[in-house]
Amino acid sequence: MTRRETGVLVVAAAVAALAAFPLLAGGGKAPAGKPAATGIFPYEKFEDDATCAGCHEEIAAQHARGMMSRSFTHGWDEVEYFRLALPHALKEAKVAGVKAGCMGCHAPLAFLAGDIPPKPVAEKTRANDGVACTVCHSITGFTGDTPFNFNWTIAPGEAMQGTRPGVKSPHHGIAVNPFLGTAEFCGTCHNEKDPWGQWVKATHLEWKESPYGKRGIVCQDCHMTRTEGNPAPDAGGAMHADMRTHLFFGAHTKARLEGAVEVELVPAPATARPGDTIIVQANVINQKAGHMIPTGSAEERVVWLHVEAIDSTGKVFHLPVDRKGFEGEDYTISSPGTLAYQDLGEIMGLADFQGLERDGDVPAGDRIYRLPYLDPKGRMTVAQWNTKSFGPDYRLPPLTAVPETFTWKLPKDVAPGPVTIRATVWYSKLVSSVARFLEVPEDEARPVKMAETVATITVGD
């Protein structure tokens, strides 16, 4: 049986379980839920997070710190929707669908209420609630075979969908629904097909192909780690040894990025003289993520490997990566002066816009782990909805060593004694040139060090 079929069976089993078991703690059957569509449920159908926080204080505090509670209000999201996607949707028929489509995942309450486009953040409508408690806890399942583009079904107001049998709430019914414990649940928003039919987000699909997917280690295991606790201590809740946390940390949490990748370094030979050639082998390994690094918004993330040698006097020599010779490799080696993102000019109506530095501030010759998103004219883009094709997928697959070599002919001016070779893997959430151009807060582009290691060789005279 193929993996795809297995995945479908798991979902089918979950759905069968849904139908077979008594669901609401107070008796009765969980409603099947309606497929997501605009205008089917007014805002009032959904209680707000503050109400939930009254009893679920700790979970609410965690959720408030994560990105999903800010999926509409977060500065860069607001810029991308209101300054790029929405104006583009209004003037270009091909991408008209993203006017509502972006909101299906980023402001589901506004989408369901038909409040499209939502008012800007400052107007404080309930679009601002983002992926609220009641969004996830009203999702009952999904339509079709593959979760993507918010193809969930939803039944707000009746009962909270959960996974734990035997617990009771004074405030709401509880529908025990194994679907919430599956990766497919997350996949409904973490896989995305754009108007050109391209998978511009495929975190769940990547996961499914990974060793974690094959072993059934789901998103929740890493992003909602279990802890001992009581989800509602002052409202009659019970202690559990395995309460689900709601931090959902990802690329916006430095601690999550640090150590997610490892780099191994082997320079050979261990001793050499000026004029000799050293080959430095570096393996970059995605040790902790259950999907590619970068995943999801890969169109705007930049992950790169920088290698340098420091001689005994402190002089620094930058080592450019050796070419492997695969098709499209140029996209994966930093080349200052190379312009991209020209579609921003067309989207924003700027005459004579030449584009922006493709690789931001990444030093020349460094290896970049990326999936180039290409616009209808074949140029790199950060507008995922404007992606018609892709360049080579040169990202870091889970638990796989990606080897690089750096051939270094020792220059005449390298000092005798120990030479330290240092390899560093950096992560930037948004290409710095784009961040500056759109005046997105500095923090979005600030590089975070994911991994660093050193090795030493000796230079004889």
Pick out residues in 141-170 that bind ligand HEC (CB under 6 A). Answer: 149-150, 160, 162-164, 167, 169-170
Q: What proportions of the chain, in percent to the nearest 5, are helix, strand and coil?
A: 30, 25, 45
Q: In the numeric block, which tokens belong to residue 52?
A: 């939930």
Contact status, residue 375 vs residue 383, Cβ threshold 8 Å: yes
CA pair distance 208, 214, nearest whole angstrom = 7
Select 162 or 391, whichever has its Cβ closest to ligand HEC: 162
Residues 130, 73: contact at Cβ < 8 Å? yes
**Residue 250 makes contact with ligand HEC by CB under 6 A:** yes
Q: How far is the CB of 359 from ligand HEC (least distance, A)?
A: 18
If one asks whether residue 128 binds ligand HEC (CB under 6 A), the answer comes out as no
Of residues 18, 23, 109, 180, which one binds ligand HEC by CB under 6 A? 180
137 vs 358 by CB, closer to ligand HEC: 137
Tally of CA atoms within 13 A in the half-sphere of 251 that contains its CB: 22
Q: Which of 67, 96, 310, 339 binds ligand HEC (CB under 6 A)?
A: 67
Q: Which of 344, 429, 457, 459 binds ligand HEC (CB under 6 A)?
A: 429
Examine residue 71 and tell whether it contacts ligand HEC (CB under 6 A): yes
Q: Which is closer to ligand HEC, CB of 215 or CB of 412? A: 215
Residues 5-64 within binding reach of ligand HEC (CB under 6 A): 47, 49, 51-52, 54-56, 59-60, 63
How far from 76 is each of 236, 287, 295, 438, 448, CA to CA, in Å?
A: 40, 28, 18, 9, 18
- Give the nearest distance from C-beta 447 to ligand HEC in angstroms: 14
Backbone phi, psi, residue 15, to 5°? -70, -40
Q: Give residue 199's identity as a one-letter amino acid code.
A: W
Local structure of residue 82 (DSSP, 8 states) = I
Task: Report, in Å, the least distance between residue 392 CB and ligand HEC.
Answer: 19
- Among 128, 297, 334, 381, the residue binding ligand HEC under the rule CB under 6 A is 297
Q: Is 105 in the site for ligand HEC (CB under 6 A)?
A: yes
Min dist CB 322 to ligand HEC, Å, is 26
Residue of 158, 5, 80 whose CA lies nearest to 386: 80
With contacts defined by CB under 6 A, how many residues of the chain interact with ligand HEC? Answer: 96
Contact residue for ligand HEC among 18, 23, 30, 68 (CB under 6 A)? 68
The answer to whether 127 contacts ligand HEC (rule: CB under 6 A) is: no
Regarding beta strands 152-154 and 34-35, do their DSSP bridges make them parallel or antiparallel, or are they unpaired? antiparallel
Are residues 290 and 222 in contact, defined by beta-carbon separation less than 8 angstroms? yes
